[in-house]
Each structure stands twice: as C-alpha cells, then as structure tokens.
Amino acid sequence: MDQYNFPHSRRKSKFFFWTIVVVCIFGIVFLASIAIAFKFYSTSQKVIDGKQPASFMQSVKDIVSSDRKALRGEQYGRINVLLVGLAGKNYPGANLTDSIIVASINPKTYQTALLSIPRDLYVPIPDTNSSTKINALYARSQDKDASGKTGIDDLKKVITDITGQPIDYYIALDFDGFKQIINELGGIKIQVPKDLHDERYPGPNYSYETFDIKQGLYTLDGDITLKFARTRHDEDGDFGRAYRQQIILESTRSKAFSLETILNIPELSHLLDTLGEHLRTDIPLNELNSFVDL
C-alpha cells in the first residue's frame, strides 16, 4: 500500500512548497508596496507646499486611487508648470533661480511646449516700486519667508505678467538634488549637438575651471550633466544653455518613467529620499496620478 501512496504524498508536498513560495512572494510585494507608500507619504510631508495628506492611510488612498482628479488649468486646455533650478546650500548664490522654464502641457494631445525665461530679465518686484533681475526674486524672499513661498508666488506673478499665461504649479530642484537624481537613474543619454569649451565654468570657492565636451552621444553622470546644463561661455550664451536644459529634461523624463526605473524598488526608494531633501513643489499628492498620466 505504501508504494501507491508515496507519489500522492510527494505531489502534496510539492503543492504545499509552491503555495508557500507564492504566499511569500505576495507577502514581499505587499510589504514593499506599503514601504513605498510610506516613503511617498513621508516625502510628501517634506516637499509639498500647501495641502498635504492628513494621514498615512490617506496617502495610500491618494496613491492607489483609480479616480482621476482634474488638474489646475485643465479646463482651459493648458496646464502650466514652472520648473525652477537653483544652486541650493553650499553654493554661491544659493537661492538664485538661474534656470526658469515654463512647461505648458496640452492635456488632450499631451504635447508640451517648453519656454525658457532669460535669467537676467529685468522685472518689477510685485507690490513694490522697485525692479530686479528675475533670477533674484526667489532669493529676495528668503529674508522674509524661509520656506520660499513668497518668492515662488512673486516669480509666478511676474511670469504670468510676461507670458500672459497663469502658472498652475511649480517644481524647484537644487544642484545637489539634480546631480543625485541623474546618478540614481544610472546617468542619462544626451546627444551633444556641438563641441563645447568653457574656460570660465564656476568652480569651488568662486574659482573657475575648464569644461570641455565634444559633439556626440554620451551617457552622462550627474556632475557632467550639471556642467552641460550650466555652461554658457560660448557664442550661444544663455540661449544655448536654455536649449541644453530642455534636452536634459526630455532625456531625464524618458529614463525616470521607464519600466527599468519604476520596477526597481530600491532605486525608487533612493530617488524619493533625494527628492525629499532637494525638491519643493505645490503639486498635491492626490493629484500625482493625474500628473503621471501626463
């Protein structure tokens, strides 16, 4: 009798083994999902100006909800996002917004226009009789408002006056955050359109260093990408720099939303850590899914 029962027992053992394996896999995926949801929640507490999720569970609902929340500006056929790059602490001119780009998105066709605002544009300071360079508006507010909200509001107002377009959201990122995000992504592919040679690239302690790169296709790390974005001492000046920054934005977007990145839980966790320290925005967490759609 035992010889007839043995195969049946072995099949039961195999079934039990694979059941345990499947349960463990689902358990790991569930715990990883909870960990990432908590990471999103804790990061949102640091980076979002304005309305934040009231609790961790509300944050989870915001992330997994299938309900699509309408974005500001969507009813008018344009969602305008102000993208701001600034030096950040440990750099000269820490709060000067030397990269100012308006991303104007058509929510029906998903086409996006990028408009770079010259950093030396001389503009009136809101609610005063004075004027200043546009890249100093944010820095000026730091004496009055450490959060930077006043400066962002002033910047939004001035850009609306210049372009005739309301600014619905903003995203601000500093140099160190920029470099770390590029490195976390494993670098980005950039087609350098022409040779660049800048002997006056800003170095440490108000010094200068030489930045040189030849035309061609590269995978650039965070440090070189920042130099490629900032260098401007050639015949194209700030206009060439604005163009290169737009190239970087497109390449970074493609890499960040690739399956390679989205399915890499440790990498996603590191990205969120970096964003928490170096990025500020007024995009509410419950509108994140709508932004991912865009």
Q: pLDDT digits over 206-221, tens only?
A: 888 999 999 999 999 9
Looking at residue 165, its pLDDT comes to 93
Whole-angstrom distance, CA of residue 113 vs CA of residue 116: 10
Q: Are 217 and 189 in contact (CB under 8 A)?
A: yes
Whole-angstrom distance, CA of residue 123 vs CA of residue 142: 18
Looking at residue 159, its pLDDT comes to 96
* Backbone torsions φ then ψ of 11, nearest 5 degrees: -65, -40
Helix or strand holding residue 277 (H, E): helix 265-278
Higher pLDDT, 249 or 7: 249
Name the pLDDT band for 266 (thresholds 50, 70, 90).
low
Name the pLDDT band for 62 (thresholds 50, 70, 90).
low
Name the pLDDT band for 190 (thresholds 50, 70, 90).
very high
Query: Could you tell me which of 83, 144, 79, 87 has the C-alpha nearest to residue 112?
Result: 79
Query: Could you tell me which of 143, 80, 129, 142 has the C-alpha nearest to residue 107?
Result: 80
Name the pLDDT band for 204 (thresholds 50, 70, 90).
confident
Identify the weakest region by mean pLDDT among 60-64, 189-193, 223-227. Answer: 60-64
pLDDT higher than threshold 80 for residue 1: no
**Strand order across the 79-86 sheet:** 112-116, 99-105, 79-86, 169-174, 279-281
Whole-angstrom distance, CA of residue 178 vs CA of residue 222: 7
Q: Are 115 and 101 in contact (CB under 8 A)?
A: yes
Higher pLDDT, 10 or 216: 216
Looking at residue 110, its pLDDT comes to 87
Whole-angstrom distance, CA of residue 181 vs CA of residue 221: 10
Task: Using a pLDDT cut of 90, give the percent of the chain over it.
Answer: 37
Name the pLDDT band for 102 (thresholds 50, 70, 90).
very high
The encoded tokens of residue 189 equal 């592919």
Looking at residue 6, its pLDDT comes to 53
pLDDT higher than threshold 60 for residue 29: no
Looking at residue 205, its pLDDT comes to 79
The whole-number average pLDDT for the span 30-55 is 63
What does pTM read for this prediction? Answer: 0.78
Looking at residue 255, its pLDDT comes to 84
Name the pLDDT band for 261 (thresholds 50, 70, 90).
low
Mean pLDDT of the chain: 81
pLDDT higher than threshold 90 for residue 146: no
Q: How many residues does the chain have?
A: 294
Higher pLDDT, 30 or 184: 184
Identify the residue whose tokens are 């969507």: 74
Higher pLDDT, 62 or 126: 126
Whole-angstrom distance, CA of residue 216 vs CA of residue 193: 7
Q: Are 188 and 251 in contact (CB under 8 A)?
A: yes
The whole-number average pLDDT for the span 277-285 is 84
